[in-house]
């Protein structure tokens, strides 16, 4: 299983680097907007009844209404019972975000490196960058067509429905791109186009409630997430392509 | 990985064995990636959600 170990080690390095890059971009891009949106989100949830709210460090907020979880889940920002642990604002919240960024970076790097190994492995940072662009198309662009990235305070359809559509769209887009790139026949290309278009023909589950945040904030957030995702994926691809040569002997 | 490729072209009998030997670890690594992303991006446990909250929003995962 040396190949397995090689892929995991390479993905760990790539994911760590990309996670750090993501964290830096995020601090200037999405994070200020998240904090801004949370003010609106909180104002609404306070206005519309006593509801659990987990963005605050526990103690700073009344965690009532654990019993009203069902109602709250439907109409407000609901994370569970109401008294679950959440990182305190400041360093703790930042460190958890950094950790999540790095862990996700490793996860996405595993996908990219494994998929590229099936095709013989990356030979240069430039080739890696193209794979990174494919990752961006699959995991950022395609899902955000039907489900624009939601800032806090933007309520969507039930979470499970959105997750299912999101994952289905990513899988269909990835399969479509692979068919486009490696399929030999016109029929394969046609199948690819159908696969990529299908999730959007089916349509994403849509929200029934108007967002709590202003429209321009909503718009800025979508732009910030898209650009952040682009940089993140470019970093994964370039790092994977550049570092892979050092592991090729294994 | 290039030496592997040369072996592949040189010996068709070994090729099948080699590519199967390559495919298994690759698929395992891919599944590990799926598992990791499931944890950071999609686990609905409140603690997992709260810890990864800003990450999920920043990457466009469906959050709450």
Average pLDDT of the segment spanning A5-29: 96
Tokens of A27: 């601090």
Structural domain boundaries, residue A103 = 2-41+88-156+207-247
| pLDDT over 70 (residue A217) | yes
Yes or no, beta carbons of B29 and A4 under 8 Å apart: yes
* pLDDT for the residue B7: 39
**Residue A192: inside a domain:** no
Pull the structure tokens for residue A223. 């732009």
Is A220 domain-assigned? yes
pLDDT value at residue A90: 86
Dist. CA A222–CA A200, nearest whole Å: 18
What confidence score (pLDDT) does residue A185 get? Answer: 94
Residue A99 domain-assigned? yes
Tokens 């994926």, located at residue: A233
Of residues A135 and A71, more confidence is placed in: A135
pLDDT at A163: 93
Q: Note whether residue A124 is domain-resident.
A: yes
Residue B46 lies inside a defined structural domain of this protein: yes
Number of domains in chain B: 1
pLDDT in tens, A27-52: 999 999 999 999 988 888 787 755 45
Please give the share of chain A, as a percent, with pLDDT higher than 90. Answer: 64
Position B64 in a domain: no
Whose structure tokens read 């993501």?
A22
A110 found inside a domain? yes
What pLDDT was estimated at residue A209? 82
For A76, residues 6+ apart whose C-beta sits below 8 A from its C-beta are: A44, A45, A48, A49, A51, A155
Please tell me the predicted confidence (pLDDT) of residue A208: 80
Is residue A190 one of the residues assigned to a domain?
no
pLDDT of B47 strictly over 50 = yes
Cα B3 from Cα A250, distance rounded (Å): 10
| CA B38 to each of CA A84, A104, A182, B48, B61: distance values in angstroms, whole numbers, following the listed order | 20, 9, 28, 11, 11
A222's CB contacts (< 8 A; 6+ apart) are A144, A148, A149
The pLDDT of residue A149 is above 70: yes
What is the Cα A182 distance to its own chain's centre?
A: 26
Closest partner residue to A84 (CB to CB) among B28, B37, B50 is: B50
Query: CA A236 to CA A240: how far, in whole Å?
Result: 6
- Range 180-219 of A in CB contact (< 8 A) with B: none
* Contact between residue A181 and residue A175 where contact means Cβ atoms under 8 Å apart: no
Please, which residues 66-85 of chain A have a Cβ atom closer than 8 Å to chain B?
A: 77-81, 84-85
Of A3, A110, A226, the CB nearest to B32: A110
What is the count of structural domains for chain A? 1
The answer to whether residue A163 is domain-embedded is: no
Tell me the C-alpha to C-alpha distance, in Å, between residue A204 and each of A50, A96, A163, A192, B48.
Answer: 31, 30, 10, 20, 25
In this structure, what DSSP letter does residue A68 have? G
Measured in whole angstroms, the distance separating CA A57 from the mean position of its chain's CA atoms is 24
CA distance A146 to A150: 11
Confidence of residue A147 (pLDDT cuts 50, 70, 90): very high
pLDDT digits (tens, 9 = 90+) for A153-177: 888 888 999 999 999 999 999 999 9
At A76, give phi and psi (nearest 5°): -130, 180
Average pLDDT over residues A89-105: 93
pLDDT surpassing 80 at residue B11:
no
Work out the number of other CB atoms within 10 angstroms of the CB of residue A184: 8
Give the model's confidence band at A82: pLDDT under 50 very low, under 70 low, under 90 confident, else very high. Answer: low
Q: What is the mean pLDDT of chain A?
A: 86
pTM: 0.82
B17: domain range? 2-59
* pLDDT given at position A155: 82
- Domain for residue A188, yes or no? no
Q: Would you call A52 an interface residue with chain B, using a CB distance cutoff of 8 Å?
A: no
**Residue numbers of A between 128 and 167 with CB closer than 8 Å to B:** 139-140, 143-144, 147, 149-152, 156, 159, 162-163, 166-167
Residue A223 has pLDDT above 90, yes or no: yes
For residue B54, is it within any domain?
yes
* Residue A140, both tokens: 């950022």
Q: Is position B17 within any domain?
A: yes
In this structure, how many other beta carbons lie within 10 angstroms of the beta carbon of residue A202? Answer: 12
């Amino acid at each position: 299983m040396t190949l397995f170990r090689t892929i995991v080690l390479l993905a760990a390095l790539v994911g760590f680097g990309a996670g750090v890059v993501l964290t830096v971009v995020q601090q200037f891009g999405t994070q200020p907007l998240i904090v801004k949106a949370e003010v609106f989100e909180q104002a609404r949830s306070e206005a519309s009844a006593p509801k659990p709210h987990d963005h605050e460090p526990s103690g700073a907020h009344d965690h009532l209404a654990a019993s009203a979880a069902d109602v709250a889940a439907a109409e407000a920002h609901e994370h569970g019972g109401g008294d679950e642990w959440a990182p305190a604002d400041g360093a703790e919240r930042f460190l958890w975000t950094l950790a999540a960024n790095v862990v996700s970076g490793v996860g996405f790097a595993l996908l990219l490196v494994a998929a590229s190994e099936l095709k013989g492995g990356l030979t240069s940072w430039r080739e890696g960058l193209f794979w990174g662009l494919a990752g961006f198309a699959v995991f950022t662009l395609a899902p955000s067509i039907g489900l624009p990235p939601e800032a806090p305070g933007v309520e969507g359809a039930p979470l499970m429905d959105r997750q299912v559509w999101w994952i289905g769209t990513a899988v269909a887009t990835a399969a479509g791109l692979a068919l486009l790139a490696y399929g030999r026949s016109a029929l394969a290309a046609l199948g690819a186009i159908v696969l990529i278009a299908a999730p959007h023909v089916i349509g994403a589950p849509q929200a029934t409630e108007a967002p709590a945040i202003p429209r321009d904030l909503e718009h800025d957030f979508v732009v910030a997430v898209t650009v952040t995702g682009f940089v993140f994926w470019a970093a994964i691809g370039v790092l994977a392509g550049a570092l892979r040569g050092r592991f090729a002997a294994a | 990985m290039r030496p592997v490729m040369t072996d592949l072209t040189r010996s068709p009998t070994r090729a099948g064995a080699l590519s199967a030997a390559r495919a298994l670890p690759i698929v395992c690594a891919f599944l590990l990636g799926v598992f990791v992303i499931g944890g950071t991006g999609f686990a609905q446990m409140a603690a997992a959600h709260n810890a990864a909250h800003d990450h999920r929003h920043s990457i466009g995962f469906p959050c709450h």
